[in-house]
Structure 1
Amino acid sequence: MDVTPLVFLVVALVAASVFLLLFVHTDEPRSEAPRPALITQHYAPGDTVEQPTPYYAAPVPESPDPLEVSANTDKKALLAIALVFGLFAMMGAYYTLQTGIPIRAYAGTTMLDSSKQKQLDVSVEHGAETYASLCFDCHGKRGQGDVGVGLPLNRPDNKYRASCTATGQNDNGKTCKQSDDDAIRKFLTDTITRGRAFAAPRYSMPAWGRSESGQLNEEQVNQVVNFIMYGNWDRILQIREEQSLALEPNPPPTPKVPDPVTAGQQIASTTCIACHSFTPGTASANPLAPNLGHYATEGPFNDPLKALKASGDAAWLTKWVTNAPAIKPGTAMPKWEGVLTADQISWVVAYLQTLK
């Protein structure tokens, strides 16, 4: 129940009553003095006279009563004081009701808290509708990741942990702190917005954020995050049923595992080509980067990497692509760990080993 209109109505009625009580003039109207009779001119019969002009003498205005003037001035001052007091009283009452005194109608919460909760409830409901429409087939009926496609979202670690007490434990008996919820929110928001790539045959999480060419704006992403953190997962099937949608997930087909050499060539042609040339006899874009056209038979080209290969380490080329500076400090070859996945690095290595 929103009592804000009721509060303002009561304040307005009180102000109106004060106004009527103090400032409505209740004195009887002052009786005006009777006007004098018209003065007429009399002439003898046969006299030539001008057309008489009737006139009357205007009464001399009375001087204002000093006591009455003083009383009116006092009333105006009281009116100004009452208006100022009423304005500040309404502002104070509104601020107090919003942020201070718990309202019994809200079971001990303030109006501001109740408003925030209502906004959150609306956001959670919109997030549930978005999940039921876009996430259902991959993450499942209750977000448990039991479809075999998306990861589980309905986990205690993803729930809002307002119960994190001074002892540092939440309802799940796990260590927590105030910043945990912010970290969870950021992780969920970033993942939904940007997606999450995995190597086939594992499914990749698509990027849903509009900033990443997806179809959800920032508020819609925030609504989904609110549902994951605060929502009731039973609501998903209810929404699907209300919208006459299938009640069983329909997951997408399993991604095909790419050919390692072909996939490696695609990565090299879009990433490694910035520095290296893969055409024999053609100079590389970076003078410090060797031509890799015959790398399988002519490589490696630096002494630390040659020593690593001579040591019998079968993963020498994988280690080089993963973190070249760890093998040869100061090299122009960047560290690709964290930029490419382990599978993508293995594909690049497989492609390099075919360049004979």
Structure 2
Amino acid sequence: MIGCVIHGEGDLRVDELPAPSPGPGQALVAVRYGGVCGSDLHYWLHGGVGDFRLREPMVLGHEIVGTVLAYGDGASGPSPGTAVAVHPATACGVCPECLDERANVCRDTRYLGSAARTPHVQGGFAAQVVVPAGQLRTVPAGLGLRRAALAEPLSVALHAVRRAGAVAGRRVLVTGAGPIGCLVVAAAKAAGAAHVTVTDLLPQALEYAAAAGADTVVRADDRGDTGWPSEVDVAVEASGVAAGLDTCLRLVRRGGVVVQLGMLPPGQSPFAGNLVVSREIELRGAFRFDAEFDAALELLAAEPAFDRLISAVVPVRDAESAFSLAADRSRSCKVLLDFGS
């Protein structure tokens, strides 16, 4: 079978891989679509994500959907042929974080397509994958696999909004209109946000944010734009750059909440720490997700408008062109690899 493997910085290959078979407690899934994530792009462009560096070849991908093929001994779940989305995290279940129902920050988790540990956890960009059977989620009736491929990134967005607390009736700022930022917009609107403002440097990215439900979009480099809010109740930083965090801290009201969702560059990042003190701003991190995965599938099933955020579906054999497209935010939002074509 074929798989999309990163061998090092700039070295992405579509390789022939041995077909897997499920072991005890495992399920075998035929992958149909895989969403190209920002972390996949970082492995390709930079050889790592934040402090997680490539040390060996790794199958990329953690945003995958497909159909069940078979189970190993002692495993059960949706019947073979059922359309499923795959939750990409295997938490340890015994660490203090897991016992505190915060499995998304489990200290011994295994996440598909991650170099956070060595040997690396191989990902899901392959024609067939084996995963723990408990990580399969049946795709709701009426939800096609194409849109269901957004479940993982939408879960990230839902978790970030939940980290912000109650947003119903509140003014929300989102800095960064990449795929995750756009999904944060949709998640905030679904949670009842009264008004969502989105900033980005690229007009094309802001068009996707508007399609996701943003009430106002503004160019991040145009301080004369009348769309800038005087202040907001909640700000979600989704760009992963220090300038975005600075904007959030300066525009959130006193006593407001800032959620840092974008992964900042490794090392130290400057930020306006005095504002956190003098305005009693609550600065919270948001990392991955846990139970939000099921909620994401339900939301995707209820809202066809999410299709607007899928800008291209590319055969896996053209993976490098798909990655180039996904890396160019002037031309794309979410790009999917197609393993069924």
Larger Rg: 1
TM-score by length of 1: 0.21
TM-score by length of 2: 0.21
Please state which structure has a larger fraction of its residues in strand.
2
Please state which structure has a larger fraction of its residues in helix.
1
Higher relative contact order (CA 8 A, sep 6+): 2
